[in-house]
Amino acid sequence: MSIHLLIGITMTPPHLTLVSWKSADSSLSGWERPGDGQIVHFLHGNGFCSRTLWPLAQQLPSDWRLIFTDIPGHGGSARPSVGMPDWQGMARSIADQLQVLADGQPVQAVGHSMGGC
């Protein structure tokens, strides 16, 4: 693993802001880079967190809005009080989050492993 990848994962890039989203069913945390261009949503693989995808932010145009979500029980997102949600429950939480954040605009998705399903 290169030192650049290690730095990207362990240090918060200055252009990302910690954010949290709440819905009736869940509370999610993640990171966001504001922008007026395309909206791109990053979803990490099972057992990881959104920080693993941060290095990709530097490769995209600076005016794009980037959203990095930690799925329930990962990264900064709280573990549900009653067990972990099933895959459909996680997908519902993410869809609810994006519906609010995107406000009807199209969203490009980037996923790794489970996050790419």
pLDDT in tens, 36-60: 999 999 988 777 778 888 888 888 9
Distances (CA, A) of 114 to 1, 34, 45: 22, 26, 5
Q: Of 71, 77, 63, 59, whose CA–CA distance to 18 is shortest?
A: 77
pLDDT of residue 2: 39
Domains contained in the chain, CATH given: 3-116 (3.40.50.1820)
Tokens of 97: 């989050």
Residue 107 near residue 43 (C-beta atoms within 8 A): no
Q: What is the pLDDT of residues 9-18, one digit of tens each?
A: 555 666 888 8
Tokens of 21: 């989203």
User: pTM value?
Assistant: 0.75
Range with lowest mean pLDDT among 23-27, 55-59, 70-74, 101-105: 23-27
